[in-house]
Amino acid sequence: MNPTAGSFIINPRLQRHFFMMAIGFPEQSSLSTIYSAYLNKHFSKFKGTIQEQIGPIIKGTLQLHAEVERSFRKTAQNFHYEFNVRHLTNVFQGLLQAKQEAIVEPDNLVKLWVHEAERIYGDRLVNSAHLATFKGLAAELVSKSFSRFNLKKYFGANAEPLIFAQFVGGLDDRLYDQFANAEALAARLAEALREYNDTNAVMDLVLFEDAMKHVCKISRIISADQGHALLVGVGGSGKQSLTRLSSFICAYTTAGIMISSTYGMGDLKTDLQNFFMKCGVKDEGICFLFTEGQITNERFLVYINDLLSSGEIADLFQAEDVDGIVNNVRPAVKSEGLLDSKDNCWKFFIDRIKKNLHMSLCFSPVGDAFRNRAKKFPALINCTVIDWFHAWPEEALLSVAAKFLVDVEMASDEIRTGIEQFMPYSFKVVGQFSDMIMDQERRAVYTTPKSFLELIKLFKVMQSKKEGDLIASKEKYETGVIKLTETGEVVAKLEDELKIFSVEVEAKKKTADEQAEIVGGEKAKVEAQNAVAEDEAAKCFKIKVEVEAQMASVQGDLDAALPLVEKAMAALAGLKIDDFRMLKALNNPPGDVKDTFTCVLHLLAKVDPGVPVDARGRLKTEKPWPTALSLMKDPKAFLETLNGYKEKIDTDQVPDSNFKAIRPTLSLETFTPENIATKSAAAAGVCDWICNITSYYDVFISVEPKKLAVASAKETLAAANNKKAEVDALVADLNAKLQVLLDQFSVVMKEKNDALAAAEKCEKKMNLAQRLVGALGSELDRWQQSIIDLGEDLKVIIGDVLLASAFVSYVGPFNKSFRDKIIYENFVEFFKVNNIPMSPVANPLGILADEATVAGWNTFGLPPDQVSTENGAILTNSERYSLIIDPQL
């Protein structure tokens, strides 16, 4: 085979060397013989009644084949309408899957046959009209040949699904049996999808009836040996998702290739080698999902073609790789009881590939690409089982819409129904307009189930966003209104409070004032007493000063007299005991000496007990000298007496008369120490003492009145001091009382100030509140209006958003007149008929962009016409990326 292409024309120059032989379609009888051989063998152990049906079935199959061949001609459009022995064989191959456990009655076999025939012939038909034709043929045939089995319910309008599958008893069951009803099928597939989603990236599939049938068809195809599925349908009809689910049901791994910018033949080869190793060596099942988009190089299809047709790709493995594979599978070959030759091993490997590696090819019927590829690579058509995906029926669209919209909150069931129905409706309408624009402008616009799903998605996103926005702004206004009302109340309350406060403050003020008065009175009293006390203190001070002055003068006088005493003392100190002894010796001493000692006796009268005194205390002696001598018996004691005489004077023990008695003697001119010294040294000393002591006495006496004055002054001072102390005590007492009052006063003052502060705060608060109410009072009405408006908007938002999202999803490729027709003549009318709430004036742009945004676009150079603005709105609101058709750019 030509390695660069699958199909080829043999050059006539080459052809001429060969004998040409055309092999036509075999005779009916030959076919009958061939297939009955197979069937008889397979059903030999089945019930007799079942075996009886083999003949009619073979006959029926041949008839059906002929009918189909006649009804569906191969055309350029339907190039795959080619029915040959391969298809006949496929039908019988399907029958050979029959197991005794499942096919217990003849009608089971007939049903299986109808099912298989429908899979082989019906599934490749390109539209529902063809399918209906085929069903008519089959129904006719069944009613003719198998009228005794009640199969009518599987044909005609609202036919029950007739489905055989390997997972009827459970996902792990492998018995090819019929599903009892659609519910059983739905339950089984729901289970499968749940399990799939548990272990894989979640697929949010809606398994409506057609989708379920497709899953059964795909899994039927890929579970057969060398079974490859060719899924043909427009993009987004679910080919890949359903393949994944089917592959999961068949317990295969779904594998694919990942296209990158550098992906080439080598990469494909590597990927295929991996698949081969897994399937052939490790004996794992793989479903190789290959889509049209992945054909970045047409040569990929050479490999695919080989894989489909024979399971073997000529140059996929190098010789050494082949050896490795052979060695790997050798034990398995041996355990099968086969000879482990290289050829056997390789064949074993390829058989495993056929068993385990299944392709699911996803192609789009649109355009020429598919036809061209099929022409070049016939295995795409011939070696695969085709499953043609028709447009989703309206029922399917509706159930998908219902499923996806179930979590969108809607005001009523009527609205929900309306919106659910709008989805398939709008899809249908846009489809019609696509055909129209194709007719009128040769412009290709497609809507696929994918765009339908995108509409639902966009609607949900926009709905939740817009509704959220509206609710949020409504809540804002509501909060504002509530706050304003609350503030009004607060102001009223504050006013009341303020009144109470002012009364309280007044009372507090009064108490404080009273207290202040009392304190003032007390203070005055204390101050008066203080003045008195100060007066007293001043007086005391004055007296004290006087006393101190007097005392100082007395002391001064006395101090002045002290030298006299010292002189006297010095005179005495000069006396010696011997001097006195000498005196004793004198019986009749000179007059001066006598006078001297007489004076001494006078002075010592009443001072020394040795001196005789009369009743008046005067010296009483006739003979002073002997008396004096007796005194001087002990000169030491005598001198001490004289020495201590000053003390006696100072303490007033010496009577004044003593001195009066000696005055006359003292006034004698001879009575001087110098004079007497000539007579007796002792007498001279004594004379000196007498003179001085007398002088001292004189001074002392002269000081006496002063001393008295000082004493009296001291008394006065003491009295004054006492008085002052009294006054001080009084003042202290008053001060203590005053302090208590002051304390009380400060408490009262504090209370007053507190009350004042509270009142002030209250007033401030009230002022602020009043300002707020004053400033926003006018807003209140507007806000309330806004709340009402927003409430209205909220009611219609769902319709507006639906219209806007349909606008974004569908009208982009159309021109202005088509857009208007779609939106205003169809969608809006549908809204009205189905009572979907919407704004009175339909304007999808209003939802999509506000005026400011549009103005912004215009400044950036977007032309201000309607179409451009719409385009801008679509571009910015679409969830999908945009593809801009702008030939004038």
Partner 1 sequence: MPKDIEFSVENGNPVLIENMGNGIDAVIQPVYSRAVIKKGKTKYIKMGDKELTLHPNFNLFLHTKLSNPHYPPEIQAECTLINFTVTEAGLEDQLLSLVVKKERPDLAAMKE
State how far the Cα of 108 lies from the Cα of 102, in Å rounded to an integer.
8
Cβ proximity to partner 1: between 802 and 808 the closer is 808
- Please report, as a single letter, which amino acid is at residue 136: G
Among 812, 827, 838, 842, binds partner 1 (CB under 8 A): 812
CA distances from 422 to 619, 693, 809 (A): 164, 153, 13
Query: Under a CB-based contact definition with an 8 Å cutoff, are residues 752 and 523 in contact?
Result: no
Binding map of partner 1 across residues 817-836, x = CB under 8 A, - = no contact:
x-------------------
Q: Which of the stretches 148-156, 654-662, 737-745, 806-814 binds partner 1 when contact is defined by CB under 8 A?
A: 806-814
**Which pairs with CB-CB distance under 8 Å and at least 24 residues apart come from 252-258?**
252/222, 252/285, 252/286, 252/287, 252/358, 253/278, 253/284, 253/285, 253/286, 253/287, 254/286, 254/287, 254/289, 255/286, 255/287, 255/288, 255/289, 256/288, 256/289, 256/290, 256/291, 256/294, 257/290, 257/294
Instruction: Count other C-beta atoms under 10 Å from residue 798's C-beta.
Output: 24
SS3 289: strand
In the complex, what is the shortest distance from the CB of residue 250 to partner 1, in angstroms, rounded to a whole number? 24
Cβ proximity to partner 1: between 197 and 451 the closer is 451
Query: Under a CB-based contact definition with an 8 Å cutoff, are residues 124 and 386 in contact?
Result: yes
Site for partner 1, residues 181 to 240, rule: CB under 8 A: 201, 234-236
User: Residue 831 burial by CB count (10 A; 0-12/13-18/19+): exposed, middle or buried?
Assistant: buried
Among 444, 472, 518, 562, binds partner 1 (CB under 8 A): 444
Q: Does residue 432 interact with partner 1 by CB under 8 A?
A: no
- Please report, as a single letter, which amino acid is at residue 221: I
Site for partner 1, residues 243 to 262, rule: CB under 8 A: 258-262
In angstroms, the first-to-last Cα distance of the chain is 49
Binding map of partner 1 across residues 358-387, x = CB under 8 A, - = no contact:
------x-xx--------------------
Q: Does residue 441 interact with partner 1 by CB under 8 A?
A: yes
Q: Does residue 564 interact with partner 1 by CB under 8 A?
A: no
CA distances from 189 to 167, 168, 170, 254 (A): 9, 10, 10, 18
Structure tokens at 684: 């001279």
Among 448, 598, 641, 658, binds partner 1 (CB under 8 A): 448
Q: Does residue 163 interact with partner 1 by CB under 8 A?
A: no
Among 275, 388, 814, 857, binds partner 1 (CB under 8 A): 814
Among 28, 36, 51, 294, binds partner 1 (CB under 8 A): 294
Residues 6+ apart with CB under 8 A from 23: none
Q: Which of the stretches 13-21, 442-450, 571-579, 790-798 binds partner 1 when contact is defined by CB under 8 A?
A: 442-450
Query: Under a CB-based contact definition with an 8 Å cutoff, are residues 38 and 96 in contact?
Result: yes
Cβ proximity to partner 1: between 462 and 481 the closer is 462
Q: Which of the stretches 165-173, 503-511, 620-628, 868-876 binds partner 1 when contact is defined by CB under 8 A?
A: 868-876
Among 178, 463, 598, 809, binds partner 1 (CB under 8 A): 809
State how far the Cα of 105 lies from the Cα of 877, in Å rounded to an integer.
60
Q: Does residue 813 interact with partner 1 by CB under 8 A?
A: yes
Q: Does residue 536 interact with partner 1 by CB under 8 A?
A: no
Q: Does residue 450 interact with partner 1 by CB under 8 A?
A: yes
State how far the Cα of 629 lies from the Cα of 617, in Å rounded to an integer.
20
- Please report, as a single letter, which amino acid is at residue 134: F
Cβ proximity to partner 1: between 44 and 888 the closer is 888
DSSP assignment of 54-122 equals HHHHHHHHHHHHHHHHHHS---STTTT----HHHHHHHHHHHTT--TTT--SHHHHHHHHHHHHHHHHG
Q: Does residue 805 interact with partner 1 by CB under 8 A?
A: no
Cβ proximity to partner 1: between 208 and 452 the closer is 452
Q: Does residue 530 interact with partner 1 by CB under 8 A?
A: no
Q: Which of the stretches 132-140, 325-333, 717-725, 871-879 binds partner 1 when contact is defined by CB under 8 A?
A: 871-879
Q: Does residue 705 interact with partner 1 by CB under 8 A?
A: no
Pairing mode of beta strands 164-165, 177-178: antiparallel
Q: Does residue 29 interact with partner 1 by CB under 8 A?
A: no
Cβ proximity to partner 1: between 744 and 876 the closer is 876
- Half-sphere exposure (Cβ direction) of 581: Cα atoms closer than 13 Å: 3
State how far the Cα of 862 lies from the Cα of 365, in Å rounded to an integer.
38
Among 29, 75, 199, 888, binds partner 1 (CB under 8 A): 888
Q: Does residue 666 interact with partner 1 by CB under 8 A?
A: no
Cβ proximity to partner 1: between 448 and 786 the closer is 448
Q: Which of the stretches 492-500, 543-551, 678-686, 874-882 binds partner 1 when contact is defined by CB under 8 A?
A: 874-882
Cβ proximity to partner 1: between 202 and 585 the closer is 202
- Half-sphere exposure (Cβ direction) of 81: Cα atoms closer than 13 Å: 19
Query: Under a CB-based contact definition with an 8 Å cutoff, are residues 167 and 219 in contact?
Result: yes
SS3 858: helix
Q: Does residue 265 interact with partner 1 by CB under 8 A?
A: no
In the complex, what is the shortest distance from the CB of residue 291 to partner 1, in angstroms, rounded to a whole number? 9
Q: Which of the stretches 276-284, 410-418, 440-448, 824-832 binds partner 1 when contact is defined by CB under 8 A?
A: 440-448
The region, left, alpha or beta by phi > 0 then psi within -120 to 50, assigned to residue 82 is beta
In the complex, what is the shortest distance from the CB of residue 219 to partner 1, in angstroms, rounded to a whole number? 24
Total residues in contact with partner 1, by rule CB under 8 A = 60
Cβ proximity to partner 1: between 258 and 833 the closer is 258
Q: Does residue 867 interact with partner 1 by CB under 8 A?
A: yes
Among 249, 445, 603, 849, binds partner 1 (CB under 8 A): 445
Cβ proximity to partner 1: between 53 and 364 the closer is 364
Cβ proximity to partner 1: between 588 and 888 the closer is 888
CA distances from 655 to 607, 612, 624 (A): 9, 15, 19
Among 263, 351, 555, 768, binds partner 1 (CB under 8 A): 263
**Binding positions for partner 1, rule: CB under 8 A:** 201, 234-236, 258-263, 292-294, 296, 364, 366-367, 441-451, 454, 808-809, 812-817, 855, 858-859, 863-868, 871, 874-875, 878, 880-889
